[in-house]
Structure 1
Amino acid sequence: MRTLRIGVDVGGTNTDAVVLDLSLSSTSFRGILAQYKTPTSSPNVTNGIEAAVRTVLEKSKVDKNRIACLTIGTTHFVNAIVEHDCRRLSKVAIIRLSKSFTKEIPPFSDFPPVLKDIMNGYYCFVSGGKSISSRLHIDGSEEAPIVEAEIVEQCSKIKDLGIDAVVISGVFSPIDEHFKQESHVRRIIQRELPDVDIVCSSEVSNIGFLERENASILNASILKFARKTIRGFRTAMKRLNLHCPLYLTQNDGTLIDAPSASRLPIRTFSSGPTNSMRGAAYLGLSDFSQSQQRTSTIVVDIGGTTTDVGVLLPSGFPRQASAYVEVAGVKVNFSMPHIESVGLGGGSIVRIDGESVTVGPDSVGHRLTSKAKVFGGDVLTATDIAAVTGENVGNPNLAADLTRSVVEETQLKIETLLERVVDRMKTSPEPLPLLLVGGGSIIAPRHLKGVSEVIQPAFHAVANAVGAAISQVGGTIDMIQSTAEQTVAQIIETAKDMAIERSVAAGADRNTVEVVDVDTMPLQYVANKVRVIARAVGQFSPEIFSIESWTTDSDDGEEDVYAEEVAKGPQYPPTHLNRENNVDSYKPNVVINPQTGNPEWFLSETDIEWLADGCYVLGCAGGGSPFAEYIRLRDIIRAGHNIRIIDSSALQDEDLIYWGGHMGSPAVSNERLSANETYEAMLELMEYYRHESFDAIMSLEIGGGNGLQPLLVGSSNFFNRPTVDADWMGRAYPTYWQTSICVYETGQLVPCALASGDGKAMLMTKTTNDEIVDRALRASCTEMGSRVGMAAKPTSKEKVLKYSILNSMSLAWRIGRCIARAKEHNTSCTIAEQIVDEVGGPETAKVLFRGKIIGVERRLWKGHSYGEISIQQVREEEQESKIAGFKMMAVAEGGILKIPFKNENIYAKHILDDGTDEYVAMVPDLIAVLDTQSGKAIGVPEYRYGVLVTVLGIACSPRWSDTPKGLEIGGPAAMGFPEVVYKPLGRYVEPRSVVLEYAPREQS
């Protein structure tokens, strides 16, 4: 009976190994028959693995025929990317399946220059052929066929370039269950280029086109090295005479077999922290396998330099990070555990300055046994403090000169550091158990605030290897479904069943499989659509595999060729660096137009970045991320085109001003990126009006991605017209009729035009009221792909001055400058105060609340997406805003702040511990949730548990608040909450015009 497992974890300093008998898991030694820790040999980590495994086999004296599998967790692959190691990374060719979209933001657009130079081999865009769609609507229906001849032509170019790694990237490919477009293209490439590596993006990650493609590129670039490394693992197994399957551990704590890991090495990138957390739970929790009986558990892994803290859910698996994470500066969207790290470890250097003591973040690291005082060195470390307080390490007499006050102060610093990071990870005030593992865990106190008990289990030093050994087999399903003909409950059950089947197909014992995660997310701006993600796991079942399948491998004959190379090839210089002046000295480029005599602001990359950050704040969590528009605008400037903004005073009475923006679902925007829908809608409207041109362009809404749309359309790349420093909302709203022009005049939305960006367009010429315009257009938008561009009835200078929110572009820029300044001066913790000062002071804006998100709910209500976040105040010492004389009292203190959202935040309700409550802000005033650590806005898609946030309120324009019609259109009732009575937050101050402030002054 094969009941034994060997687990190995390859860390930067040590390689750990254990032999584990799961049938003895209930014993006091938890079934661990042998353990071993050895230094990780560099560059050849395989030697370290082989030495560790050989040692535990000799120690345990087990029959090798009883070994069910060898499981390895390694950071080997991700390190090659982090280190920009061009010897281990390959050039990649990308084939995008996109007839009409994604071209404006090509592959590698958001890659760090170094990695782009290393990996960018070639990219192209193709449409399709035959019965496979080149793009998919959100409901999965076919739009355009693939043209096989195009694929063949691109294969010829790739062959000529000598590139042997190809990524196929199709819009909405993860939900392409029917047409399987990427698979079809792969078969064509395999026929034409039989020797290249091919990665289909749908097999790597989920919804989110650019992030999925990025992950696929990283995966493709590392493939050759991954195969070579895994071949080395197999070679070591042969030398050890092990005849069992080889598995690697994945980021989510489940197994991936060696052949699959050779195809998808990216799934192992963050397996180290996961192994540590899973191993800690197995060693320290007696009810580890009984998820229904447990609460969440904090895991603290202390090494020599850093401490990693994560949360194990009741399922026994780590809480995952937010939708998007970064690997070596590349934004990706595959599953990774949510880990907080601090510079605290056994080797942390302790410094004494008078009565003040600091601990870390620098460390002696792997030199601890030669540098620390208790080992005869001359550096005071955290381990020395542990030794003199009773821990059995080194010779405490060598540190006997330490005073009691220094020891106590150091212990207090360590305790405070750990309590802070633990509290950041918690999502409720209830005390949670804490598992303490890692070689440096001796420095930690055994009592911490907010912790019910500190558990340091036996074998804690090799918890990561234990986590690798106990890994299970998983299956995940991610799909978007309609609720029109089935309930959400039915969709969830279907997803669960599919996840279970995938787990079984991957090698899990069906009798042990259980669903551990289910998440449902109604899609924004799309009625009756819900995204469901389900994950099932079960115990590995060696019985379903034959011995022959374990030992057969196409690389078996190559063990003599295998040899690991020295890492780190030449470093490439960045190709694009924004070397403009620093934040404090930077001045926008405003020049006088010689023809009109008016000042015009010519935007730079810096301006675009600040505008994007400011627009997201003004989006009040909605409006969609401006990231795609930012990338396009940046590239337009780099291509030599001009983007201009003018003050409203520069408009002439007879000027014709076009305006519009995007309508639709952010989920679609995330897949189709930033195309030319708004530009094409304006062309349609110009044709209807028989306008040859127009004089200026203006934004529908300043909040979110739409705030940047007029800059794209008005650039010299398109119409070459200036953008007016104004918009019709002063924020973001979910519908087109919630515009300030509709407050004062009816019928200003039509005639209007819609364009889908792929050849479909329509006009609406008449209406009986403004609200029906949005409803009609939104229904059409759904039929046209759930994302369109809209151009509304052209307006005039008179209406802009009377009805719009003036200088909103300037406001966004100033807010973005605050964020940049805070980053440059390391004052992000007070970004809210800086924004308050910038927009008009405490009478105009207020810090509403400081805390941590402890709850996120999303639901369908009346066919639309609604949700709510709960924010709990953090302790005083956790409120990082401590700059003397600059901290602003929050409007609400203590208790919980609840913020419901319908794409945008609707109100902020403060609930005290005694149950009393008060509305502290509501629409049409602006409610923005800022990431306390970065100072940047958090949108609805980024809301997640545990994020430290600062809630900011900004008074709205009197266009909304000073008339009953304004509150009717833009107040709480319009957002579905008629019971909430509007109470003004403060006094509005019109933003200062950047154009006028920085315009050249006449020489006297």
Structure 2
Amino acid sequence: MGSIRQPRALRVGVDVGGTNTDAVILDLDAVNQSNRGVLAFHKTPTTSPDVTDGIEAAVGNVLAQLGGDSASEISCLIIGTTHFLNAVIERDTRRLSKVGVIRLSKSFTKDIPPFSDFPPDLTQLLKGYCGFVDGGLHIDGSEEAPINEEQIIKECEKIREQGLNAVVISGVFSPIDKHFEQESRVRKIMQERLPGVDIVCSSEVSNIGLLERENASILNASILRFARRTIRGFQGAMRRLGLNCSLFISQNDGTVIDSASAAKLPIKTFSSGPTNSMRGAAYLGLAQSGRKDEERVSTIVADVGGTTTDCGVLLPSGFPRAASAYVTVAGVTMNFPMPHLESIGLGGGSIVRKGDSDVTVGPDSVGYQLTTKARVFGGDVLTTTDIAAAGGLQIGDPTKVSDLDPELISQTRARIKKMLENVIDKLKLTPTPLPVLLVGGGSIVCPSELEGVTEVIVPKFHSVANAVGAAISRVCGTVDTIYVTADLTVAEVLEHAKIQAVANAVAAGADPDSVSVVDVETLPIPYVAGQIRVIVKAVGDLSTSYISNSKSLGNEDDKSDEKFSETASKPEALSTLETHARFDFDAYRPKVVLNPETGNDEWVLCEKDLEWIRDGCYILGCAGGGSPKAEFLKLRDQVRAGHSVRIIDSSSLAENSLIYWGGMMGSPAVSIERLNSSECIHAVADLMEHFGHKSFDAIMGLEIGGANGLEPMLIGSSKAFGRPVIDGDWMGRAYPTYWQTTLAVYEPGQLTPCAIASGDGKTIIMTKAPNDEIVDRALRASCSEMGSRVGMAARPTTARHVRNYGVLNTVSLAWRIGRSVARAQQENTVHTVAEQIIDAVGGPSTAKILFRGKIVGVERRLFKGHSYGEITIKQIQEDEEENSHESAAVAEGGVVKIPFKNENIYAKHISDDGSETYLATVPDLISVLDTQSGLALGVPEYRYGLMVTVLGIACSPRWTDTPRGLEYGGPKAFGYDMAYKPVGVYVEPKSVIKEYAST
């Protein structure tokens, strides 16, 4: 806790941008007045390489406007800055450090090394060294392996040789490590041998999800030195201004942390600029617009700075639309809450160039040098501000641009208009026009009319909306951990977590009387008894009596009063903001070649094929099967390294073919930490040894849904067994149990002998069973004791079984579905992605849009190792959902409830009058799509507030042509006494191999 002082209501909010620094003084006791409590505001160009000059100029100006001893009346200074994010976006080597990564896991994660999920250019810039040492935990909190100090010392020597000054320690399940503290112990060993090196523990940066947590930690480590230098500059500016108050930095979610914490975790400030802009816009613009609350509609916010334009959506509630479950920062996947944003290289300092036939605008910019380099200020660089001045804007000296060709002015305006319209279209879920709220100093270059926009609103104080957003920030306290429930009830666990979250908020500076718990989520962990993950968030107003007493920023000596300079970024560094070349979907042909040895056509997968199959598999997973991301990354890297993955049609199998099949079994919570190792490959090898097989002819998947859709490709890859993968599987979707396969439906007793392997040396072979259901039960019990994740290889099968009982051409189906999603994303037709998927799977007679709406309830529980629960989806008002759709859903109004047991079981519509209708049930496929992206949502991603589209797809007749098929895969298999009513008529997917065959 900080020390106490007399409360004051005045705050200074500052936004430090690359082009301008803005400041406001806000009186919290006057927020209902016409000026919204804004007592003073100022925008000043960041004209010096020393970022503190802008702060001193802007804050000094607003203090002078107040007059008197105004500095003593300021309770806190809150700064929002894009500096840290810009360093990454601009790939600026002067501000970024190369990072070494040390993974703690004896047996896992090596197949997907650090930086696997980074864009190639950023990998080249940041990747310093990657090492693997013993360590890591299992999901139950036990050690996978103890720390080996000798290994750590050897890694220190390698890091020293590389000359690195930043290292990340990333341990499997480190966020739940409360006993062994492996990451902290390794950091202590390394600090003794690597003095002056920043060492970041991933568990202190983010939560469960190894790759995403590690990604965030790498970016955090890369900017630590720059962050400390920047924050020291902020502190020095405060001292010179006579401000003796607390310094806070605003975070991604609109809350604040003290400066010392921000210097250790600058990653948490990455999206603070856009978030502050959104919050400031809501505070200023919507209140000023004159609309009543019930008249509000979704509004695009465009924050136009000097270099970039960040666009987001304010919902009718006045809050920013949250990003979907798929969030990236500078091209890197992260697990931080962020607003949904799209950015382009357009700002007031963007450079304008005349080509032979057209005009380009940006993405490079003169940035903070606008007032010296732009032509209206006497410079020689043509910028968008010059074009605006030539069109009548009163800025600088318009006579210096009076010689501009009117055609050039017209073309530039048209280009700016088109850039804005394109980015706005990306944010809109449908073509329906929406209003646009323009904020930011660079908004002066924007047109007052745009296609697809109802009106353009420029609020009072628009140029300093970011600073206003910073000034109104709140304080957050969170808890995200796994509790053991052996000695506590769930209610007691939740109460403990709530108390801790509130305490964390108060400790961070919240007024105790204003703190409330705003979010509580419980996540049962499949296959792990007596544990539950709890996430609690508490938020309160920043106390005017709080003063942070933490001054140390670590490593370098404190030099708060010392100014520092920073060279301007190279213009070409912004080239990464340019849109990637459009992919030609119509011209693309998958590589289908004739194998001269077999005389059969084979589909050789490329990286693009794998991307589409990945996304299609998750949609076919019906919310289960686990995310295929890890499998995709591993396959992508293999293809890049020259290995091959081949798909064959079932018709090419010889009658005497020996066919292995299998997949992963276990908890998704384990999969996202241990990533993908070689469990299935080990299981296949162990079963081959049991049978005495030296090789086999082909591999087939257990299920096409989720991660297991890609698993046979890893087994069949030339890096593993080098065998072709059959275009088919045993489910045509995902199911929660091993016995829910079409093979078991038509030929019971074919599941044993089988093998499961943990990937760290443990294998079990089951030779006999009285029935197929007991096989799954026995294996899952063993799975829990083997780390809650295993690879499974089943009894080899025959070509007859595959052709007669398998669900065929499902790899082709996943490819077609994924291609539909990718095309919709590129062509900005995500509002019709469900219709495009329906066309890909067979048309409206095969699949239907069941419902559209927002998830308003998520219930989860665990029973016998399976994740049970239910989501509730509510159709919201038309003005809230931003939607007008080309085709109606089967049901409208009311709510839809979808219970799940790992996968979705049925979709029940409850109308406003209380009547109930079952829209679809298993074995038909019920997929929930993220409306913003068109991608599938799995059970782990279900959360309140997500806009979703529910899709129903007809299942294979393998499930419906026999009573046992419905007994194994229908509603009764899940304990529901209801009749199955088909959602449509199944159409066998068209084979990619046959369509694109070389002959």
TM range (shorter): 0.7 to 0.9
Structure 1 residue 601 displacement after superposition:
2.5
Whole-Å separation in 1 of the counterparts to 2:75 and 2:566: 28
2:112 pairs with 1:105: yes
Q: Summarize the alignment of residues 140-539 of structure 1 with structure 2, pairs less than 5 Å apart.
A: 140-279=141-280, 301=301, 303-304=303-304, 308-309=311-312, 320-338=322-340, 370=389, 462-483=464-485, 485-523=487-525, 529-539=531-541
Q: Residue 14 of structure 2: which of 8, 29, 46 is its match? A: 8
1:925 aligned partner: 924
| Equivalent pair of 2:870/2:897 in contact (CA under 8 Å) | no
Letter in 2 for 1:466: V
CA RMSD of aligned residues (A): 4.4
| Equivalent pair of 1:423/1:450 in contact (CA under 8 Å) | no
2:41 pairs with 1:35: yes
Structure 1 residue 307 displacement after superposition:
8.0
Higher mean C-alpha deviation, range 668-677 or range 323-332: 323-332
Whole-Å separation in 2 of the counterparts to 1:650 and 1:892: 43
1:619 aligned partner: 621
Letter in 2 for 1:765: T
Whole-Å separation in 2 of the counterparts to 1:548 and 1:934: 42
Whole-Å separation in 1 of the counterparts to 2:823 and 2:426: 26
- Cα distance, 1:666–1:919 mapped onto 2, change above 3 Å: same
Structure 1 residue 6 displacement after superposition:
2.0
- Cα distance, 1:46–1:729 mapped onto 2, change above 3 Å: same
| Equivalent pair of 1:424/1:946 in contact (CA under 8 Å) | no
1:780 aligned partner: 782
- Cα distance, 1:836–1:460 mapped onto 2, change above 3 Å: closer
Higher mean C-alpha deviation, range 230-239 or range 864-873: 864-873
Structure 1 residue 8 displacement after superposition:
0.8
Structure 1 residue 994 displacement after superposition:
2.6
Q: Residue 120 of structure 1: which of 107, 113, 127 is its match? A: 127
Question: Equivalent residue of 1:959, what SS?
Answer: coil
Letter in 2 for 1:983: K
1:944-999 Cα deviation digits (max 9, x unpaired): 455554433322111101111111111122234323x2111222222233334434
Structure 1 residue 56 displacement after superposition:
1.3
Question: Equivalent residue of 1:90, what SS?
Answer: coil
1:717-764 Cα deviation digits (max 9, x unpaired): 111222122211011111111111111222222222111111222222
Whole-Å separation in 2 of the counterparts to 1:125 and 1:683: 25
Whole-Å separation in 2 of the counterparts to 1:927 and 1:209: 29
TM-score by length of 1: 0.82
- Cα distance, 1:513–1:881 mapped onto 2, change above 3 Å: closer
2:414 aligned partner: none
1:682-710 Cα deviation digits (max 9, x unpaired): 22222322333322211000111101111
Whole-Å separation in 2 of the counterparts to 1:650 and 1:680: 27
Structure 1 residue 631 displacement after superposition:
0.9
2:91 pairs with 1:84: yes
| Equivalent pair of 1:601/1:995 in contact (CA under 8 Å) | yes
Whole-Å separation in 1 of the counterparts to 2:267 and 2:832: 37
1:793-819 Cα deviation digits (max 9, x unpaired): 221222212211122222222323333
2:404 aligned partner: none
Whole-Å separation in 2 of the counterparts to 1:435 and 1:997: 49
1:645-700 Cα deviation digits (max 9, x unpaired): 22222223332211111111112111111111111112222232233332221100
- Cα distance, 1:75–1:824 mapped onto 2, change above 3 Å: closer
Whole-Å separation in 1 of the counterparts to 2:476 and 2:508: 7
2:988 pairs with 1:987: no
Question: Equivalent residue of 1:614, what SS?
Answer: helix
1:290 aligned partner: none
| Equivalent pair of 1:518/1:535 in contact (CA under 8 Å) | yes
1:52 aligned partner: 58
Question: Equivalent residue of 2:145, what SS?
Answer: coil
Higher mean C-alpha deviation, range 227-236 or range 522-531: 522-531
Question: Equivalent residue of 2:208, what SS?
Answer: coil
Higher mean C-alpha deviation, range 619-628 or range 915-924: 915-924
Whole-Å separation in 2 of the counterparts to 1:900 and 1:206: 27
Q: Residue 718 of structure 1: which of 700, 720, 735 is its match? A: 720
2:607 aligned partner: 605
Whole-Å separation in 1 of the counterparts to 2:100 and 2:554: 31
TM-score by length of 2: 0.83
- Cα distance, 1:794–1:852 mapped onto 2, change above 3 Å: same
Q: Residue 103 of structure 2: which of 96, 105, 115 is its match? A: 96
| Equivalent pair of 2:658/2:696 in contact (CA under 8 Å) | yes
1:198-231 Cα deviation digits (max 9, x unpaired): 1111111111111111111111111122122222
Structure 1 residue 5 displacement after superposition:
2.9
Letter in 1 for 2:788: S
2:695 aligned partner: 693
Higher mean C-alpha deviation, range 227-236 or range 696-705: 227-236
| Equivalent pair of 1:307/1:345 in contact (CA under 8 Å) | no
2:290 aligned partner: none
Whole-Å separation in 2 of the counterparts to 1:244 and 1:552: 21
User: Where do 5+ consecutive residues of structure 2 fail to align?
Assistant: 1-5, 288-292, 351-362, 366-382, 399-419
Q: Summarize the alignment of residues 566-645 of structure 1 with structure 2, pairs less than 5 Å apart.
A: 566-568=568-570, 582-645=584-647
Letter in 2 for 1:909: K
User: Where do 5+ consecutive residues of structure 1 fail to align?
Assistant: 128-133, 287-292, 349-360, 380-413, 427-432
2:83 pairs with 1:64: no
| Equivalent pair of 2:854/2:873 in contact (CA under 8 Å) | yes
1:25-48 Cα deviation digits (max 9, x unpaired): 687766544322333446544322
Whole-Å separation in 1 of the counterparts to 2:959 and 2:129: 50
Structure 1 residue 900 displacement after superposition:
3.1
1:400 aligned partner: none
Letter in 2 for 1:151: I
| Equivalent pair of 2:49/2:565 in contact (CA under 8 Å) | no
Question: Equivalent residue of 2:164, what SS?
Answer: coil
1:867 aligned partner: 870
1:389 aligned partner: none
Higher mean C-alpha deviation, range 186-195 or range 913-922: 913-922
| Equivalent pair of 1:473/1:540 in contact (CA under 8 Å) | yes
Q: Residue 751 of structure 2: which of 749, 752, 758 is its match? A: 749
Q: Percent identity?
A: 60
1:11-70 Cα deviation digits (max 9, x unpaired): 466432123455666877665443223334465443221111101111112343443332
Higher mean C-alpha deviation, range 299-308 or range 523-532: 299-308
Question: Equivalent residue of 2:94, what SS?
Answer: coil
| Equivalent pair of 2:894/2:912 in contact (CA under 8 Å) | yes
| Equivalent pair of 1:347/1:368 in contact (CA under 8 Å) | no
Whole-Å separation in 2 of the counterparts to 1:548 and 1:609: 47
Whole-Å separation in 1 of the counterparts to 2:321 and 2:575: 37
- Cα distance, 1:49–1:890 mapped onto 2, change above 3 Å: same
- Cα distance, 1:235–1:492 mapped onto 2, change above 3 Å: same
2:731 pairs with 1:733: no
- Cα distance, 1:821–1:472 mapped onto 2, change above 3 Å: closer
- Cα distance, 1:42–1:760 mapped onto 2, change above 3 Å: farther
1:74 aligned partner: 81
Higher mean C-alpha deviation, range 625-634 or range 9-18: 9-18
| Equivalent pair of 2:854/2:874 in contact (CA under 8 Å) | yes
Q: Residue 806 of structure 2: which of 785, 804, 808 is its match? A: 804
Number of residue-to-residue matches in the alignment: 925
Structure 1 residue 266 displacement after superposition:
0.8
| Equivalent pair of 2:728/2:808 in contact (CA under 8 Å) | yes
Question: Equivalent residue of 2:14, what SS?
Answer: strand
Whole-Å separation in 2 of the counterparts to 1:147 and 1:178: 17
Whole-Å separation in 2 of the counterparts to 1:572 and 1:40: 19
Whole-Å separation in 2 of the counterparts to 1:552 and 1:193: 15
Whole-Å separation in 2 of the counterparts to 1:774 and 1:50: 68
